[in-house]
Amino acid sequence: MTMWEALREVVVALGQATGIGSLADRIAALLRGWGAAGRPVAFTVAIIALSAKMAKADGVVSFDEVEAFRRVVEIPPGEEANVHRLFDLAKGDVAGFEAYAARIAELGDKDPIFLADVLDGLFHIATADAYVHHLEVAYLERVADIFGFDRAAYERIARRHVRLSGGPDPYGILGLAREASDEEVKRRYRRLVAENHPDRHFAKGLPPEAIQLLNDRLQELNNAYATIRSERGM
């Protein structure tokens, strides 16, 4: 079963579902029932559902955000209706976004790389129109908190997309103080590259969109390290 066939089954099952339980709970139950096969579709479902809740947070979905969504989730011809259906179901669900974020964290086994990919995707969509609404910022901060990221981890992700304290900080991207020694810089860079390298995550069945986010993150790490090396003459 392809990822898009799986997503189609999710939408059909949700349309037929009856009884008590939020949409977030029903989605989580479906994907958990598939075991490892549900992991690839979990990323795409997470982006669709949490994007819908983010759109509800600021009340606006701009053209640029729609285009950014399509870059994060590459929708094949003929699958648009299922994506739109899931988006509308999630946006209209009475359950708050916290419930969705919590279920996504569970589905991702609280894997920080998987959850960072989801948060990266949401930031990419939120910043597409060159303006991030304060309600979107509050939303993303809360999602990060539910995902288990502390403030430093959240800001490392945010710095790749928005200006914090005057602009991108290579030390912030690596999660280091400027007083860190050369050896500390090297160790942190090598560890982050190892943790975020796409080759390490192919076996987990992540979809191409998530792998692209890992590639982008790896490039940001490389750029930050190159900047520090240049500044220090390392």
pLDDT tens-digit series, residues 180-204: 899 998 998 888 888 777 666 655 6
Judge whether residue 144 has pLDDT over 90: yes
Stretch 115-141: mean pLDDT? 79
Stretch 111-140: mean pLDDT? 79
Judge whether residue 164 has pLDDT over 60: no
Read off the tokens for 75. 């929708």
Using a pLDDT cut of 90, give the percent of the chain over it.
Answer: 4
Instruction: Report pLDDT for 20.
Output: 45
Judge whether residue 71 has pLDDT over 70: no
In degrees, to the nearest 5, what angle opens at C-alpha 33 toward C-alphas 107 and 82? Answer: 75
Report residue 142's pLDDT band, with 50, 70 and 90 as the boundaries. Answer: very high
Report the chain's mean pLDDT, rounded to a whole number.
76
Report residue 90's pLDDT band, with 50, 70 and 90 as the boundaries. Answer: confident
Query: By three-state DSSP, how is residue 58 classified?
Result: helix
Query: For residue 42, with 0-12 CB atoms within 10 Å meaning exposed, 13-18 middle and 19 or more buried, which class applies?
Result: buried
Cα–Cα separations (whole angstroms), residue 207 to 26, 37, 76, 183: 22, 12, 13, 35
Instruction: Report pLDDT for 165.
Output: 45
CB of 73 within 8 A of CB of 207? Answer: no
Report residue 76's pLDDT band, with 50, 70 and 90 as the boundaries. Answer: confident
Instruction: Report pLDDT for 207.
Output: 63
Judge whether residue 102 has pLDDT over 60: yes
Of 174, 136, 139, 134, residue with least CA distance to 155: 174
Stretch 129-143: mean pLDDT? 78
Instruction: Report pLDDT for 64.
Output: 59
Residue predicted with more confidence, 120 or 72:
120
- CA–CA distance, 135 with 92 (Å, rounded to integer): 18
Judge whether residue 171 has pLDDT over 80: yes
Report residue 14's pLDDT band, with 50, 70 and 90 as the boundaries. Answer: confident
Residue whose token pair is 């796409």: 198
Residue predicted with more confidence, 26 or 64:
26
Residue predicted with more confidence, 56 or 116:
116
Stretch 77-96: mean pLDDT? 79
Instruction: Report pLDDT for 22.
Output: 66
